[in-house]
Amino acid sequence: MLELMLCSMLTILPDFLFRRFAQGKRLGHEITLFTVWFELRWGITLCLILTLSLITTIFYFHPSTKAATSVFRTVTILPETSGRVAETFVELNQRVTAGQPLFRIDSTGQEAAVETARRKIAEIEAGMVVAKSQLAEADGRIVQARGMLQQALDEFEARAEANRRSAGSIAEREVERMRVQVDSQQGALDAALASREAIVSQIDFQLPAERASAEAALQEAEVDLKKTLVVAGTDGIVQQFALRPGDVVNPMLRPAGILVPERRVTGLMAGFGQIEAQVLKVGMIGEVTCIAKPWTIVPMVVTEVQHVIASGQVRPTDTLVDIQQFARPGTLTVILEPLYAGQLDDLPQGGSCIANAYTNNHEALADPDTGFWRAFGLHAIDTVGLVHAMILRIQALLLPIQTLVLSGH
């Protein structure tokens, strides 16, 4: 409507003034409701053409959208293990800090696993003491075996020497018996040494490995025990938290609630039409007006333009995707931040806004190589942005009335 009024002042009004004062045709006589098209056909036609051109130029080079929102993230309160709630520490809408306990799951099984792992470590430590005693015993057996071997060897050598000096003085069977006894005592010594090596290997390798495994099992059990206490991962406000002792929670099927981190609004996400993809650039100046900040215009700047459109994404599935599913065009996501810090601090997270972005051709106009007609067109493009700015201010003025009165709330 505003564009039509502006264009009519440049087309219909001069045509009427020419008819009235140059041709002497009067309103209500020669110019009536039935003859207005014939009399003012040039002005009306030019008005429609100029209006359509102006609207197209404004909405293309100075895009606008009502899909601007201060998006925020939420943290789902989920335990890492399923179980029955034993105790809760917070209430609904309570502010919490990072690390503050929220609720605790029954930990009887985890505590039993921790105690079992500790007893296993104590058992291995006791086995270590026993193995050291066995090592001392093995050392004693080695000393005993060496003594008996030396004794048997001395008796064998003495009898063998006597038999060599005086053949037949000692029976050959007796000498052979002593040789067998020496071999037996050597085998006993080897067995004692092997037994000692086995005990040493048990002390140096087996028992430490078993202790390390038991300590790892204890650590795993303690981790499982810690998982029964669910704490806040960040500062925020607990929402939709209705757990009570006795409720069963499951990380896959039943979350415990939502934690909304406390953050100040530092920017908006806006969705513009795809046709404006060649116009929207990082650094463009914009303006927004929000429902939660009535009668307020906040200057913004475009800080990021997302180069992909969500409606075209494809995820791997077991079925082929029909291209008709992408027939509905998506929007181009743009990040807007306040031109001056702190201007959106009082905007609630999730607030909806109306956003404008304005094309600026200052650099092209400052270029001496820019021709006259191109400079004229660029000046015209920058100038018509004023119309969109006026429209945004009219929307900001009428937004509370439209929301509170005309919407029927």
Which phi and psi (to 5°) does residue 339 adopt?
-65, -30
Q: What is the pLDDT of residues 92-144, one digit of tens each?
A: 888 999 889 999 999 888 889 999 999 998 998 888 888 888 888 888 888 88
R_g over Cα of the chain: 47
Residues β-bridged to residue 259? 75, 238
The CATH number, out of the four listed (1.10.3470, 1.10.357, 1.10.287, 1.10.10), of the domain defined by the range 108-227:
1.10.287
The CATH number, out of the four listed (2.40.50.100, 3.40.50.2300, 3.30.1330.10, 3.30.360.10), of the domain defined by the range 75-105+229-261:
2.40.50.100
**What confidence score (pLDDT) does residue 68 get?**
92
Assess whether pLDDT exceeds 80 at residue 77.
yes
Per the prediction, the chain carries an average pLDDT of: 83
Looking at domain 62-71+263-313+326-409, does it have CATH number 2.40.30.170? yes
**What confidence score (pLDDT) does residue 133 get?**
85
pLDDT higher at 88 or 150: 88
Confidence of residue 171 (pLDDT cuts 50, 70, 90): low
Please state the domain extents for the chain.
1-61, 62-71+263-313+326-409, 75-105+229-261, 108-227
**What confidence score (pLDDT) does residue 163 get?**
65
Query: What pTM does this model have?
Result: 0.68
Which phi and psi (to 5°) does residue 216 adopt?
-65, -40
**What confidence score (pLDDT) does residue 356 get?**
93
Assess whether pLDDT exceeds 70 at residue 172.
no
In the chain, the percentage of residues whose pLDDT exceeds 70 is 94
Q: What is the pLDDT of residues 253-274, one digit of tens each?
A: 778 888 888 877 788 999 998 8
Give the whole-angstrom CA distance, residue 402 versus residue 303.
31
Query: Which tokens go with 302?
Result: 């475009």
Q: What is the pLDDT of residues 277-317, one digit of tens each?
A: 889 999 999 999 999 888 999 999 999 998 888 888 888 87
Q: What is the pLDDT of residues 195-206, one digit of tens each?
A: 888 888 888 888
Assess whether pLDDT exceeds 80 at residue 366.
yes
State mean pLDDT over 381-402.
87
| SS3 state of residue 374 | helix
**What confidence score (pLDDT) does residue 269 get?**
92
Amino acid at 7: C
Confidence of residue 170 (pLDDT cuts 50, 70, 90): low
Which phi and psi (to 5°) does residue 105 adopt?
-90, 150
For the ranges 58-62, 136-140, 159-163, the maximum mean pLDDT occurs at 58-62
- Compute the CA torsion angle 86, 88, 89, 93 (nearest 10 deg): 170
Query: Which tokens go with 82?
Result: 């399923």
Q: What is the pLDDT of residues 306-352, one digit of tens each?
A: 888 888 888 887 788 888 777 788 889 999 999 888 888 888 888 89
**What confidence score (pLDDT) does residue 20 get?**
73
**What confidence score (pLDDT) does residue 370 get?**
83
